[in-house]
Homo-oligomer: A and B are copies of this chain.
Amino acid sequence: MRSHYCGELSSSHIDQEVEICGWVHRRRDHGGVIFIDLRDREGLVQVVYDPDRSEIFSIAEHVRNEFVLRVKGRVRPRPEGTVNPDLPTGEIEILGLELEVLNRAETPPFQLDEHENTSEEVRLRYRYVDLRRPEMLEKIRIRAQVTRSLRRFLDERGFLDIETPMLTKATPEGARDYLVPSRTHPGQFFALPQSPQLFKQLLMMSGMDRYYQVVRCFRDEDLRADRQPEFTQLDIETSFLSEDQIMDLNEEMIRQLFKEVLGTDLPNPFPRMTYDEAMERYGSDRPDLRVPLELIDLRDLMQDVEFKVFSAPAKDPHGRVAALHVPGGCKLSRKEIDAYTKFVGIYGARGLAYIKVNEAAKGRDGLQSPILKFLTDAAVEGIMQRTGAQDGDLIFFGADKTSVVNEALGALRVKVGEDLGLMEEGWRPLWVVDFPMFEWDDNHDRWTPLHHPFTSPKLDQLELLESDPGGCKSRAYDMVLNGVELGGGSIRIHLQEVQQKIFKLLEISDEEAEEKFGFLLTALKYGCPPHGGLAFGLDRLVMLLTGSSSIREVMAFPKTQTAACMMTSAPSEVGMDQLRELSIRVRKPQSEDSTA
């Protein structure tokens, strides 16, 4: 139907007859002539219809935005003074010789260039209109380029793309499963995978050696900020490699990706930081290294002050007292500081102490702070020395349970960094390593795995599993980029006795282990190789690469915060006969039914 894409035409086509197809982006009548900007996937081109071809002209007159046209015409240079340097095709236009309306269009629910004034709800309902915007097309295109690049990298290194089931057994990731009732096994259910974790481990036991998959995963969670019920992972697993080899390979892949897609050189190698150091310096296990601010520990300085707000957590082994030194922070107004106090409250902090350094040389008199009076000279001096605060700077304080201080100051660090324009440009990847195996779950009074229960402990710390589970580190690693966790993985447990020990420590009973993971424990008995891998969140990766503000922007048909599709109206009610076939029925919220 066409000889060229609209967007690929240029001066090199002048005097050629071309055929193009596309959508009417704009139509203007000007001086008795009709100008149509025709749009396709590759861009826009201007088509001109003169009134001297009256039959075609009258068709052109009735054309409206988003009509689908087929145009035959001759490429010519634009008249002097009408060249549009902002448009790749801006040097030329097409003199329309033929015109066929392939399809009409009603006035669209919003004009493409007015999408910013359109609610996201309307844009999602008419997603096929929103996706026509060149910015959206570009994101979809980059997403395809990303998966292509990643696949090629892995293909070239002997990784096999292997598909794992979607209708599977409830997975152990800990989030809520999406369930699928079985018709042929009444009363039983499949679960949609939260990840192919166990399948990829079984593939290693099958001798596949190197596996990858770009795979859909599902989590039925309450959708916070930027989650989707279904999302895509680049899932990778290898046998007989150490964690260093796996990390090297994966950072090489990401470096190549950034080079190909953005032309950017990421650092080689990525810095590696232990979990403990990341928490200590940034209050986060996915620190945004673009923010130059760091948390500074004050425990030793505060243990003996009389100010209980500081001394109590300083004395508590589960507490922390830390400072965040903000260069130039004196300019923050009382109101702004109040807003930050509210902000850290989200993370459980009960206040936000601070010191403004007006004139350091004056000692106490040069400082301004509501808490100054509670601190000894030695403490104040220690703070000034350790933070290195200069005139005009501000010091924030966090003092609470360690987790609260880390979360509050960690988040404040990024927020203040953004607000004060301290953020560096560019890409700051790193690996976070040496994670704890377990964290203590106060609610259930037991240990829970920080990653998942198949993560291997450090080989030289196996005895800590019994003596000090909290001190035992795992062979896990996370790749972090600009404060976003891009991917994470670990060396897995390949010895059945270690796996059983972990289940025991997690207070998973033999029966429960057998019921949930029996097939894994059995498989471990028949010759399981040492193995490990990684999974990347593809949506987040593409979001970063395209500079998008949400993963919804990089999915063709995303769902809303309530896990619904505005376009198709899914989920929806289904017929009674369908449910009957599946041996289920809907439980009406009002009806209390004790038999169920």
Binding site for B on A (CB under 8 A): 1-2, 21-23, 39-41, 66-68, 70, 102-106, 108-109, 126-129, 131-132, 137, 140-141, 143-144, 147-148, 151, 155, 160-170, 176-192, 198-199, 202-203, 205-210, 216, 218, 220, 222, 229-230, 232, 239-242, 494-495, 518-519, 523, 525-530, 555-557, 559, 562-565, 567-574, 576, 578-589, 593, 596
In angstroms, how far is the closest chain B Cβ from the Cβ of A360? 55
Whether B565 and A527, one on each chain, are in contact in the complex, defined by CB atoms closer than 8 angstroms, is no
Whether A530 and B1, one on each chain, are in contact in the complex, defined by CB atoms closer than 8 angstroms, is yes
Whether A208 and B140, one on each chain, are in contact in the complex, defined by CB atoms closer than 8 angstroms, is yes
Whether B140 and A68, one on each chain, are in contact in the complex, defined by CB atoms closer than 8 angstroms, is no
Q: How far is the CA of A570 from the CA of B519 in the complex (A)?
A: 11
Whether B557 and A165, one on each chain, are in contact in the complex, defined by CB atoms closer than 8 angstroms, is yes
CB neighbours (8 Å) of A188 from chain B are: 571-573
Supposing A189-B573, A596-B585 touch, asked if A103 and B165 sit within 8 A by C-beta, the answer is: no
Q: How far is the CA of A183 from the CA of B589 in the complex (A)?
A: 12
CB neighbours (8 Å) of A222 from chain B are: 184
Whether A167 and B230, one on each chain, are in contact in the complex, defined by CB atoms closer than 8 angstroms, is yes
Whether A66 and B526, one on each chain, are in contact in the complex, defined by CB atoms closer than 8 angstroms, is yes
Whether A163 and B207, one on each chain, are in contact in the complex, defined by CB atoms closer than 8 angstroms, is no
Q: Tell me whether chain A's interface is mostly helix, strand or loop, or mixed.
A: loop
Whether A155 and B160, one on each chain, are in contact in the complex, defined by CB atoms closer than 8 angstroms, is no
Q: How far is the CA of A585 from the CA of B229 in the complex (A)?
A: 22
Whether A102 and B169, one on each chain, are in contact in the complex, defined by CB atoms closer than 8 angstroms, is no
Whether A170 and B574, one on each chain, are in contact in the complex, defined by CB atoms closer than 8 angstroms, is yes
In angstroms, how far is the closest chain B Cβ from the Cβ of A566? 9
- Picked from B182, B199, B230, B528, the residue with its CB within 8 Å of the CB of A571 is B182
Can you list 15 pairs linking A and B with CB atoms under 8 Å apart?
A1-B241, A23-B207, A68-B530, A127-B206, A144-B155, A144-B160, A147-B161, A148-B151, A167-B230, A169-B572, A185-B562, A186-B589, A519-B568, A579-B587, A584-B586
Whether A557 and B199, one on each chain, are in contact in the complex, defined by CB atoms closer than 8 angstroms, is yes
In angstroms, how far is the closest chain B Cβ from the Cβ of A33? 24
CB neighbours (8 Å) of A528 from chain B are: 68, 103
Supposing A163-B556, A583-B587, A586-B583 touch, asked if A189 and B574 sit within 8 A by C-beta, the answer is: yes
Q: How far is the CA of A242 from the CA of B21 in the complex (A)?
A: 13
Q: How far is the CA of A166 from the CA of B559 in the complex (A)?
A: 11
Whether B573 and A187, one on each chain, are in contact in the complex, defined by CB atoms closer than 8 angstroms, is yes
Whether A166 and B218, one on each chain, are in contact in the complex, defined by CB atoms closer than 8 angstroms, is yes
Whether B582 and A585, one on each chain, are in contact in the complex, defined by CB atoms closer than 8 angstroms, is no
Supposing A1-B242, A140-B208, A570-B167 touch, asked if A526 and B587 sit within 8 A by C-beta, the answer is: no
In angstroms, how far is the closest chain B Cβ from the Cβ of A240? 4
Q: How far is the CA of A167 from the CA of B230 in the complex (A)?
A: 8
Supposing A66-B526, A129-B526, A166-B166 touch, asked if A571 and B185 sit within 8 A by C-beta, the answer is: yes
Whether A170 and B572, one on each chain, are in contact in the complex, defined by CB atoms closer than 8 angstroms, is yes
**A185 closest partner in B (C-beta):** B571
In angstroms, how far is the closest chain B Cβ from the Cβ of A521? 12
- Picked from B131, B180, B202, B230, the residue with its CB within 8 Å of the CB of A128 is B202
Q: How far is the CA of A222 from the CA of B589 in the complex (A)?
A: 33
Whether B161 and A519, one on each chain, are in contact in the complex, defined by CB atoms closer than 8 angstroms, is no
- Picked from B148, B169, B170, B557, the residue with its CB within 8 Å of the CB of A565 is B169
Q: How far is the CA of A191 from the CA of B129 in the complex (A)?
A: 24
Q: How far is the CA of A218 from the CA of B529 in the complex (A)?
A: 33
Q: How far is the CA of A165 from the CA of B552 in the complex (A)?
A: 12
CB neighbours (8 Å) of A206 from chain B are: 127-129, 131-132, 556
In angstroms, how far is the closest chain B Cβ from the Cβ of A554? 10
In angstroms, how far is the closest chain B Cβ from the Cβ of A73? 16
CB neighbours (8 Å) of A22 from chain B are: 207
CB neighbours (8 Å) of A106 from chain B are: 525-526
Whether A105 and B527, one on each chain, are in contact in the complex, defined by CB atoms closer than 8 angstroms, is yes
Whether A209 and B41, one on each chain, are in contact in the complex, defined by CB atoms closer than 8 angstroms, is yes
CB neighbours (8 Å) of A189 from chain B are: 571-574
CB neighbours (8 Å) of A187 from chain B are: 573, 586, 588
Supposing A165-B565, A495-B103 touch, asked if A176 and B527 sit within 8 A by C-beta, the answer is: no
Q: How far is the CA of A557 from the CA of B417 in the complex (A)?
A: 49
**A568 closest partner in B (C-beta):** B169
Whether B166 and A581, one on each chain, are in contact in the complex, defined by CB atoms closer than 8 angstroms, is no
Whether A167 and B163, one on each chain, are in contact in the complex, defined by CB atoms closer than 8 angstroms, is no
Q: How far is the CA of A578 from the CA of B191 in the complex (A)?
A: 12
